[in-house]
Amino acid sequence: AQSVTQLDSHVSVSEGTPVLLRCNYSSSYSPSLFWYVQHPNKGLQLLLKYTSAATLVKGINGFEAEFKKSETSFHLTKPSAHMSDAAEYFCVVRDNTGGFKTIFGAGTRLFVKA
Amino acid sequence: GAGVSQSPSNKVTEKGKDVELRCDPISGHTALYWYRQRLGQGLEFLIYFQGNSAPDKSGLPSDRFSAERTGESVSTLTIQRTQQEDSAVYLCASSALGGADTQYFGPGTRLTVL
C-alpha cells in the first residue's frame, strides 16, 4: 500500500534563507513522486516530478527535490526563499503498476517572513 | 487549449439534497481524476477515468457518490442525499495519459452543505 507523510504541517523561514519541506513515502513498487503547490485561492500547480530518471529533480521557481530510495524520502528544497513562495505544498506518490490511485500528503504550509 | 474548468465554482445546498458537479478536462486528455479537499487537509482521491477502461472507483467514500464521464470529455460527480461532512472543495484534474503523467487541476467547486 502507498502512503505519504509530510513531516511538518507548517514551516516558517525568512526571505533569502533556504527552504526544506520534508516528505517520506512508502510504496510497494517503484513509485512516481510529485510536489504540487497551492497558492491561496488558486489551483494546484505541479512543481516537479520524479519518474525513475535522475534522482535529483529540478522544478519551477528554483525548487528541487532529491529521491532517496534508502531513506524513502523526497524532500523539497530551495536555496533562497522569496515572499511569493508562501503557499501550501503537497507531496504526492503514485505507484506505476497499473493502479490509478494518487495519494496526496496532508500538506505543508510555508510562511516567508520579510 | 484552455485549462481544466469546473462548474459551479461555489454550491450551497441543504442537507439531503442531491448535487451535481461538472468538470471539463483539457481537450485530448484521456485521463480524468476527481479529488476532495476538506478544509485544512490534503486531497483525497475519489475516482479515476482512463479512456474507455472501467473507472477506478476505489476512493469513493460511500454509495451516495457516483461519477460519469462521456468518452474523453466532460465528467460529472453526483452526490446524493448530501450530508454536512460532504462539505469540501471538489477538484478535478486531467492528464494526457495515465500513469505518472502530469495532472492539471481545475479551480475546484466549493460545496457547502447546510
Q: Closest to B45 (Cβ–Cβ): which among A46, A90, A102?
A: A102
Q: Phi and psi for A93 in degrees, rounded to 5?
A: -125, 145
pLDDT digits over A50-70, tens only?
987 788 999 999 999 999 989
Q: Is residue A99 pLDDT above 80, yes or no? A: no
Q: Are A62 and A47 in contact (CB under 8 A)?
A: no
For chain B, the maximum distance between any two Cα atoms, rounded to a whole number of angstroms, is 38
Distance between CA atoms of residues B39 and B34, nearest Å: 17
Q: Is residue B101 pLDDT above 90, yes or no? A: no
Q: Closest to A46 (Cβ–Cβ): which among B41, B45, B102?
A: B102
Q: Is residue B98 pLDDT above 60, yes or no? A: yes
Q: B42–A45: do the CB atoms touch at under 8 Å?
A: no
A10-14 and A108-113: which strand pairing?
parallel
Residues of A in contact with B100 (CB under 8 A): 32, 49, 51, 94, 96
If contacts are CB pairs under 8 Å, which of residues 44-63 in chain B contact chain A? 44-45, 48, 50, 56, 58-59
Q: Are B54 and A100 in contact (CB under 8 A)?
A: no
Q: Is residue B100 pLDDT above 70, yes or no? A: no
Q: How confident is the model at residue A82 (pLDDT cuts 50, 70, 90)?
A: very high
Task: Residue A23: name the closest of B58, B27, B98, B42 by CA.
Answer: B42
Interface test with A, best of B32, B57, B58, B103 (most A CBs within 10 A): B103
Q: How confident is the model at residue B13 (pLDDT cuts 50, 70, 90)?
A: very high
Average pLDDT on A32-54 reads 87
Q: Closest to B58 (Cβ–Cβ): which among A32, A46, A101?
A: A101
Average pLDDT on A22-28 reads 89
Closest CA of chain B from A83, distance in Å = 21
Please list the helix, strand and coil fractions of chain B in percent, rounded to the nearest 5, in that order: 5, 45, 50
pLDDT digits over B14-63, tens only?
999 999 999 999 998 989 999 999 987 888 999 999 888 888 888 899 99
